[in-house]
Chain A
Amino acid sequence: MRKSFLYLLVGLLVFSGCEDDGPQVPEVGDGDRETMLRSLGENVIIPGFAEVAQKTTVLETAIHAFVGAPSAQTLDAAQAAWIEMGKSWKHVEMYQQGMLDQERPDSLLYKIDIGAGNPRVRTAAVDLAALNQAIGTSAPITPGYVEAMPAKLQGIPVIERLLFGASDEEVLALYTSASDAPNRKAYLSSLIVSLRNRFNRVHNNWEADGDNFLEVFAGAYGTDLGSSIGMLVEDIVALSESMKNEKIGRPLGMSNAQNQQPDSCEARLSGQSMAFFLENVNGIESALTADAAGRTGSGIDALLDHLEAKVGDVELSLALKSQLEKLRMVAAQITEPLPQAVYSQRTKVDDLYRECLVLIKLLKVDVVTQLGVMITTVENDGD
């Protein structure tokens, strides 16, 4: 035993002798991480969900006006309100924490199990036949009826499908002269009531005068599995992968021998594919910096700076910001709506795909490594 202690002592002496030559990496303390989480919650997440809830209420008012008196003007107003609400949602889409279980957004995000046990965000077009069947019911259509429907027949994309079409005239006809117009109105009204209730609940869950989830969020400031920062990074990675694979890659046909699939563009009917994509980019930037709408916070970038994290000779925080900026610049080169651009501006959309991949590498590999967070989603049994 004495020998062991002697070895230990010698080891520690050797270590202390080597300390000056060893890597001098600054530490990030619990306090820094808690500050970051609180800052992100207060500056970005809570105001973000407040905005979604408020814009959903605006959309609800617009939809009620539209179903009450369908006209080109009320339809226009409802469409504009949907776009505004959609953009605000894209800003906070990634935050799975603080979602109540019943809001875990199968219906909002299209989380689909693709077979190998991999749930993945998918931007598939709404199944119109199934939607028309749900609308054609003889049962009373209420928010309860809508919420009992499968995920693919609820949520933001389905509202888009009901408000947008090949032309406004065609959409109006569905709410005026079509035989199922009353049911369609009831379905649309029920959808928005359900959505507004959901977003209110999520927002209330975060607010200090509600369920105050912020305290739980900021309180789990460790880096272990299940910590807030680990789940946050995982959420950011998941969104960036869905942006590359589903929102850009799938329409481009990247996994489909380059055969374009424009129908799989997110928000295709409303023409907001790129606008929503850019709002996702803004959302990731806010998640990394904890800055939003004039509010300045201390985000993951500050932690990375504190750690002096670098990729090559570039600070990792700077590399992330410049990569997000690059996405915006490359996206700005795409001048046509995405469903058309995948044909006419293929090279530019392809560039956007490649830049998304760089962002994923930085987030999924470098940020995770530097922050030392555990994001394994799989239980394992050792080493």
Chain B
Amino acid sequence: MLLLERMKSKLNEPVPAHSLAFFRVAFGLVMLYGVIRTYAMGWIDQLFVKPTFFFPFYNFEWVKPLPEAGIYTVFAVMAICAMLVIVGFQYRIAITAFFLLFTYVELIDKTNYLNHYYLVTLVTFLMIWLPLNSSYSIDARRKPWIARTEVPRWMLAVILVQIGFVYFFGGIAKIKYEWLFEAQPLRLWLAANSGLPLIGPLLNEKWVAFAFSWFAMIFDLSIAFVLCSRRLRPYGYAVLLTFHFLTAQFFRIGMFPYIMSVSTLVFFSPEFHKRVLDWLSRPMSLLGRMGSIRPMSQAAQPRNYRAIQWGIAIFLGVQVLLPFRYVFYPGNVLWTEEAYRFSWNIMLIEKFGHAEFTVIDRKTGESWIELPSDHLTPQQEKQMSMQADMILQFAHHLEDVAKAKGHHDVEVYADTYVAMNGKAGRMLVDPSVDLTEQQEGFAPKSWILPFDNAPQLALSRKQ
């Protein structure tokens, strides 16, 4: 009880508000860069305009893509919102709009799911409820009554916890046989960089892959705690930068290393944050320093303060549970990918797959083959052919396509072949199951064949 009281009072201790402002600016810059990058790489067109069929998340089937002009407008508005967040102008509206638009874009097609997109959704949601514009912002200058020099520690702590979750649960997810005792998929990925000068040959070495795997697991589990220690922080951050620099060089993991390298600066001291903000705001006098000194006191708290605290506690609590929901599903989660997303399973699998479908008209007996490439983009096809839930969605889409052509009662069967983490290929989905009879849901998918017993190709040695 005493501990709880002490913790409570510690969490309510005032800390400088500019640490929150620092995070707002830093994360806003990352958000802006991410949106511009998506545009510059041509991904808006590739991911949201070109496809003729999308894979929505379960229960979010109502989320539909906008036409071309609409989706480009969404990204333009996101860029504007990110800029508004950076300077802290109409902050709450801007961050709410960014969160909604970003989440909308992510919900359109789960073949685009990435862990760091999920992180952006979580962080921007959290940012809505925290007064990140209470200092170093145009809002604080225009409305002095929202300006703060100090905020309760818990407001900063929830951001640290959110960032820490990514590493910690990422580390927990790495405690798997494949990762620790087969060094997979790092062996495949490191070897793919063996052409690099100087260190290239090393990357082909088995011990290097094992060292990377174990180090990554230990790093992920411990780095958030290391960064919390004032004494260890500089060393920890140096290791973190090296780690993310190497992963950015070796693996195609896009923005993730940059997001984390920038976000983790929030663990640094308020003095550091202030120095950076002062330096940044020098050319932008508008941002200026905050107005009157008005530490947030109990009396000054908004009416919904308690509700926000509880809401955030539940929000973080759910995140603690989500990575473990895979225990409710049979089989190897890396193979079935049931309960795989939203669990910080980062860089754990390398899969290659092939899938094609047979459609049979029950009435006429007519049958035909459907090739995914006739309906999907290469990116969608690649993702679909190795993930059972998408195979099911695509089978239902083929049923719809058949219906539109006048075949009102059809069966759809999938012929799949998938290899995971360097092991020989095998069937992923039971080919005798009519997928039109199966529905998406939270229940385990009995038609996914278990990795260890899934049939492999029947081949002979005879030439």
B408 to chain A, nearest CB (A): 15
Which of chain B's residues have a CB closer than 8 A to the CB of A366?
A: 419, 424-425
Q: Determine the residue in chain A with the shortest Cβ distance to B462.
A: A322
Expressed in whole angstroms, the Cα–Cα distance for A383 and B344 within the complex equals 10
Which of chain A's residues have a CB closer than 8 A to the CB of B236?
A: 1, 4
Beta-carbon contact of A314 and B352 below 8 Å: no
Beta-carbon contact of B195 and A254 below 8 Å: no
Q: Which of B62-70, B361-369, B430-438 contacts A (4 or more CB under 8 A)?
A: B361-369
Which residue of B46, B375, B417, B463 is within 8 Å of A325 (Cβ)?
B463
Q: Determine the residue in chain B with the shortest Cβ distance to A254.
A: B369
Beta-carbon contact of A311 and B425 below 8 Å: yes
Beta-carbon contact of A322 and B368 below 8 Å: no
Q: Which of B334-351 contact A (CB under 8 A)?
A: 346-347, 350
Expressed in whole angstroms, the Cα–Cα distance for A374 and B353 within the complex equals 13
Beta-carbon contact of B206 and A365 below 8 Å: no
B39 on the A face (CB < 8 A): no
A222 on the B face (CB < 8 A): yes
Which of chain A's residues have a CB closer than 8 A to the CB of B43?
A: 379, 381
Q: Determine the residue in chain B with the shortest Cβ distance to A361.
A: B417
Instruction: Count chain B residues whose beta carbon lies closer than 8 angstroms to a beta carbon of A.
Output: 83
A312 on the B face (CB < 8 A): yes
Which of chain B's residues have a CB closer than 8 A to the CB of A118?
A: 373-374, 377-378
B17 on the A face (CB < 8 A): no
- Given contacts A224-B193, A257-B368, are A365 and B353 in contact (CB under 8 A)? yes
B45 to chain A, nearest CB (A): 9
Beta-carbon contact of B354 and A382 below 8 Å: no
| Binary flags per residue of B26-70, CB closer than 8 Å to A gives 1, else 0 | 000000000000100101001000111000000000000000000
Which of chain B's residues have a CB closer than 8 A to the CB of A369?
A: 188, 350, 352, 419, 422-425
| Binary flags per residue of B171-192, CB closer than 8 Å to A gives 1, else 0 | 0000000001110000110011
Q: Mark A residues whose CB is within 8 Å of B.
A: 1, 3-4, 7-8, 11-12, 14-15, 18-19, 22-23, 25, 27, 29-30, 114-118, 120, 220-225, 227, 245, 249, 253-258, 310-312, 314-316, 318-319, 321-323, 325, 357-358, 360-362, 364-366, 368-370, 372-374, 376-383
Q: List 28 A-B contacts (CB under 8 A).
A: A11-B218, A25-B422, A30-B195, A114-B374, A117-B377, A118-B374, A220-B195, A224-B192, A225-B252, A253-B368, A255-B368, A255-B369, A255-B370, A257-B368, A311-B457, A314-B461, A319-B459, A322-B461, A323-B459, A358-B457, A361-B417, A364-B354, A365-B417, A369-B350, A380-B254, A381-B255, A383-B115, A383-B346
**Would you list the 6 A-B pairs with minimal beta carbon distance, nearest first?**
A222-B195, A381-B254, A11-B214, A382-B254, A369-B419, A365-B425
